[in-house]
Chains A and B, each alone.
Chain A
Amino acid sequence: MADSLKDKACIVGIGETEYSKNSGRSEMRLALEAIKAACEDAGISPKELDGIVRFSVDSNQVDEIARNFGIENLRFFPEVFFGGGAGCGIVQMAAMAVALGKAKYVACFRALNERSGFRYGQMASAMPMAGHFQYSIPFGLMAPGSMVAVMAIRHIHLYGTKTTDLGEVAVAFRRHANMNPKAMMHDRPLTLEDHANARMIAYPLRLFDYCQETDGAAALIVTSPERAKDLKQKPVYIMAAEQGTGSWIEMMTSYQRENIADLEEYTRLAPHLWKEAGIGPEDIDCAQFYDAFTPLVIMQLESFGFCKFGEGGPFVRDGALQIDGRLPCNTSGGCLSEAYIHGVNQIVEGVRQIRGTSPVQVPDCKHVLVTAGSGIPTGALILRSP
């Protein structure tokens, strides 16, 4: 009986579409393109896939994907709920299936026309996603960013975090996007002054505290270390994969918690993650934090133990999160400046960092932390080089 998932599975293929405001094609087409590209990257035929893991919120069903690829038999096809919180959970599902022999090659994907189709930032005008939003949206808390703003104000109140700290996060990730030709914000530089002068959306959050809205897809192929030996790419080992909720969990508004400035869903999973990996925050060469909004990065630095609670603001100052800083983060530009593929693009970037193929490469990168969506049931991964 396996008592740990450590190094029992690896990521051997990555695939992406272009990232745009209007893909001009269906979400199914985007999913198929990304999965096909990930299979080609790995050096397998899509027909060899016997597992597919989807986001529950994805519009694409696995049977239709299997029909398109002409897959003879899928053996494993779970899904993970909670929006962007599913990002790392889908890889955890795949890794467990591979480790237990329930599948040989598992595709994990997310495909969405989030800009040209349903925009999450305008959920108040669309059909609400969960029943409990009736206790927030009708009062004027109009979108996920506003829900995070309530946590950010508390963080500022308790710890003295500054809005310029939020700016440091936005500027760092934009700098990386400026170096990444695939990033939606590749051609748009950003300064701290730009950040401070931008349009207020929900105090204290201004325009550049918000992520992109993107049409596109990203996919990963997970298999066993044994099978990885015969494939095209250097395998990227999954050292640890965890999911968590924290207490009083509800989608985006876990406001009954003792400390709403603590993203407990990460704080509670982090010890399990470090224990399984057998390493600590000091061993991480770069992190890919889910960054739908800038305060979430500051709070995650605390949850995962990169600094003490309350010190996330000071931690990010003076370019600490930039490629030449002490903890390079979101090296592709993240959700803030590369693309919003619900964080799956950030797992892809984590794989590139281990392979040594990122356009914003961290030298000698051996260990990467990747996290999934904040303020919701979520997950995290630690990836390592072989």
Chain B
Amino acid sequence: MSEVPRLAPWPGPINQEYYDGLKRHELLLQKCKDCGKFRFWPIEMCPYCNSFEYEWTKCSGKGTVHSYTIQHATMPYPWPVLLVELEEGPRLITHGLMEPEEVYIGMPVEVDFEKIDDNTTLHAFKKAES
């Protein structure tokens, strides 16, 4: 369990599968059934081709740091927040599981998971193994 209190997200019909996937330690993205493009965060329509048809698809979990910040205020210690660009294209905000001074733009990272309360698991990203 995360030792730092974290605000829990609020699942709804559009993102329930995404949060269920995180509980199983799977990072799922919506993949358009018509044009094949991935998107994040969960929305009804493909912003590329306007199709409503999509399937939840497990992504590779690999990406690079596109940008970041180190959150000082309100955290008990300097806390890396990463904007990761996934191999599949979309970018997402996540918690960086590394020392703040290690973070740099272009850093290869891969997905990990953090249980923040009994009902909620979130993704976090660590340095890529290779």
Interface on A for B, CB 8 Å cutoff? 124-125, 131-132, 134-143, 146, 149-151, 153-154, 157, 199-205, 248, 253, 255-256, 260
Contacts and interface: CB of A to CB of B under 8 A. Distances in A.
B6 A202 contact: no
A141 B78 CA distance: 12
Interface string B57-95: 000000000111111111100110101000000111111
Contact of B9 (A138, A141, A153, A253): A138
Interface of B: 6-10, 12, 15, 40-41, 47, 66-75, 78-79, 81, 83, 90-95, 100, 105, 116, 122, 124
B80 to A, nearest CB: 8
Contacts of A142: 71, 73-75
A251 to B, nearest CB: 12
Contacts of B124: 139
B93 A203 contact: no
A134 to B, nearest CB: 4
Contacts of A132: 41
B86 to A, nearest CB: 11
B58 to A, nearest CB: 18
A203 B116 contact: no
22 contacts: A124-B7, A131-B10, A134-B9, A134-B15, A135-B40, A138-B8, A140-B71, A141-B69, A141-B93, A143-B74, A150-B67, A150-B68, A150-B69, A153-B105, A154-B105, A199-B72, A199-B73, A200-B73, A203-B100, A204-B69, A255-B66, A255-B83
Given A139-B81, A143-B74, A202-B72, 12 more contacts: A125-B7, A134-B15, A137-B7, A138-B116, A140-B95, A150-B67, A150-B69, A153-B68, A153-B69, A199-B72, A202-B69, A203-B69
A335 B73 CA distance: 20
Contacts of A199: 72-73
Contact of B72 (A203, A256, A260): A203
Contacts of A151: 67
Given A139-B122, A141-B71, A157-B67, A150 B94 contact: no
Contacts of B94: 139
A199 B79 CA distance: 15
Nearest to B19: A134
A125 B75 CA distance: 13
Contacts of A141: 69, 71, 81, 93
Contacts of B122: 138-139
A260 B67 contact: yes
Contacts of B41: 132, 135
Contact of A202 (B71, B92, B105): B71
Contacts of B83: 150, 255, 260
